[in-house]
Each structure stands twice: as structure tokens, then as C-alpha cells.
Amino acid sequence: MEGSAFRNPHVARNYDPLPVMLTRGQGAYLWDVEGRRYIDMMSAYSAVSLGHAHPRILSALAEQARRLAVPSRAFYDDRLGLFLEELCKLTGLDVALPMNTGAEAVETAIKAARRWGSRVKGIANPEIIVADGNFHGRTTTIISFSSESAYRDGFGPFMPGFRAARFGDLAAFAAAVSPNTAAILVEPIQGEAGVIVPPDGWLAGLRKLCDERGILLLLDEVQSGLGRSGTWFAFQHENIVPDGVTLGKALGGGVLPVSAFVAKREVMDVFTPGSHGSTFGGNALAAAVGLEALRVIRDERLVERSQALGARMLERLRTMRPPAIEEIRGRGLWAGVELDPRYANARDICKGLIDKGVLTTATHRTVVRLAPPFVISQDDLDIALDAVEETISKFDAPRAVGDAAAGAAQRLDA
């Protein structure tokens, strides 16, 4: 059935969903309205890393909802401090500021960097260096420094104060630093760009560069954090600690939007009462769910599970030989299957996987993203990977010239 058959005229067309109508989820499974079960290989972009309807998360949600949900930050509550204290312990940082969505956490980091640059460093017009190919959200400030034309088209004028450098290129970032630079803001692994893993030593090099130049290193771990890359945080692969990190997605346990900016005290101290806030950010219900999500990850050893299953997934993907596969990238339980546009369009692969009972999504027409919940069984992971290989193998000959050229253009535009 084509996607048009599912469309409701009252739903804005800012998404183009794949043709499946979901109604229920449990663990690593999803069911459609006709009762068919699917293996979830997407985890809602890591928001459901703990699996759908995790019983401990649902219990914490229900218990807290009965007690106190949204009291307003105009008052103290007995959940928020416990939640943020745990976040600080895990990250090795000092202070946390809660928000709702990942984009809000990034906006908070941007505001902190600008005020820190202005008030601490005395920069009249603080600038932030970002990476080409970045994805930090879709607010008007964030798309101002996006290199993806689809996110920017028609939404100007754009916010100044950002410079871009090539992701993974330490020399390019060093050259971009100026007297006006307050911070560097990057993803340790670029998710929306196609699970792009930087060269070993790049993050450590950025940490050294920031220390030498007296600027902040801010990392966006909304997608890569909380176990997705096989460690609690992707920055731990290089044994560094940033000046600030943004978290979200899995922090909400798959049931609520929960995010936070966590930073060193000198960075967070630029905020004063009234300078920043959110009606729902840090509400008691979100704090209770966020705290339980962190405890579930710890108690069920989900980071270790991501590391082990991720190694298996990447090993299997790298042994696949369909001619349509151009490159396999990934870290932890997170992979991008780059396709040769002469052979296949990633969305077509994802549609084919629906028929085999596997759900995932495409990025920029040429990348199939794989990021299952950490609770997926080894057998189900193998079944899903078999389906991936079988589906891609069907595309064993180059497409028509026009179709292949369109696919290549889409990838270059990304």
C-alpha cells in the first residue's frame, strides 16, 4: 500500500512516512494496525534505545503522574535534583539545565557559549565554530548554520555568528578559530549525515585546541549519547571531557521528550534567574522518567549490550557483498549503510524491508540507518541483518541513468 493511502489531510506534510501504520510497541517490536509484527531497527533515532514500553519506565511514569507531574519551576520539587545530580555524575560535569527536546538543549548550549564569550572572554560578537554536515535540530537559529539546503530553503534571514569547518579535519577547525571564537560545537558522530565517524584522535585534538585557544568544547550527544556508540557517551572513546554536552532522545525512556545541557560550573554560571527557562523543562514527571531511564541503562548493562551487539552488527555488515553497498560506517549499536546510487535508493531498501518485517529509515537517499533498541535479542538482530542483506542484494544491477544521476545528486546535496 502506498503512503498516500495513509495520509490524513489534517496532518502537516513536514514528514513523508514510510507506508506502515503502527499501533503498538513492546521491547524491540512494533505492530501495525493489521496485527503484523516488525523488528524495530531505528529506535526513533535513539529515543527508544531502552525499547518500547519498558516496564520500569512505565511504572515510574505512572507512579510520578499520580503524585505530581508539572508543578512549574517557580517552585522546587523532590525529583529534579536527584535526576540532574545523576546526569552530572555520569558526564563528569558540574551543573545541568533541563529542557524538553534535543534542539532546545542545543539552543541552551548556544546561549551559554555566547554569554560566556561575552561576559567571560569579553568578545563583542561571539562566534561558534560548527561542522559541515551537522544536524543539531531545526529551529531558526540552528538551521542558520546547517549545510543541508532542505532545512534552510525559504526560512531566512539567518542568524549570524557561526563558522563551519570540515567534520573530522582538525586543521580546518584550527584555521577557523578567530579572536571572536567562543566555542566549538560538534557531534562526536554525525547521525543525520549518515552515521559519520571521525578519525581517531579528532575529538582529543579538538579538546587540546580549545584548551590552547581558551575556548569551549561543546558536544551534541543527543543521538550518540547514553550508550548508542557503545560507551555511555561518545566522547569517552577518546578519554576526554567536554566543557558542555547536550543530551536527549533516550533520556526520556521512549515515553517523554526529556533533554538537558550539562556543563562545567563556569559555563553554566552565566545563567541567572530569568535569563533562560522552559515551562515544561525539568518538570517532575520528566525528571522521574529521566532518572529511571539512567538507572535502567545502568542496571540492565545496556551500554555493554550496545557494545557487544554493535560489534556483531558491524562485523556482519562488513562481510556483506551486494554490489549496491558502497561503505559501512558505525560505532556501537549504530550503523550507516552507504549505497551506490547507481544501484539503489535507500528509501526503496527501507520499503523492501517492511515486506520482510523490519523497520528502519533512510538518510539523504543513499544511507540506510540501523540503530535498534539495546534490548533487541541476538536472534532478532541476525534476522533483521539477514533481511537487510537479502533486500539490498536484489538491487544487483545499475539503475537507469536518470535514476542513478538523481540519487547521486541527492547525496551531493546532502
What are all long-range contacts of 298-303, with beta carbons under 8 Å and residues at least 24 apart? 300/375, 302/49, 302/50, 302/227, 302/374, 302/375, 303/227, 303/230, 303/231, 303/232, 303/374
User: Would residue 220 show up in a list of annotated catalytic residues for this protein?
Assistant: yes
Q: Which of 77, 235, 249, 348 is catalytic?
A: 249
Per DSSP, the three-state class of 180 is coil
C-alpha cell at 99: 529542557
β-partners of residue 40 are 359
User: Would residue 243 show up in a list of annotated catalytic residues for this protein?
Assistant: no
Cα distances (angstroms) measured from residue 108 to each of 187, 271, 277, 297: 15, 10, 9, 25
Q: Which of 83, 135, 173, 271 is catalytic?
A: 135
Per DSSP, the three-state class of 329 is strand
User: Would residue 135 show up in a list of annotated catalytic residues for this protein?
Assistant: yes
Q: Which of 40, 77, 220, 243 is catalytic?
A: 220
CA distance 233 to 127: 26
Rg (C-alpha) for the chain, rounded Å, is 21
Sign of CA dihedral 197, 291, 104, 362: positive
Under a CB-based contact definition with an 8 Å cutoff, are residues 50 and 375 in contact? yes
β-partners of residue 97 are 261
C-alpha cell at 188: 562526536
At 172, which amino acid appears? A
CA distance 157 to 135: 19
Catalytic site positions: 135, 220, 249
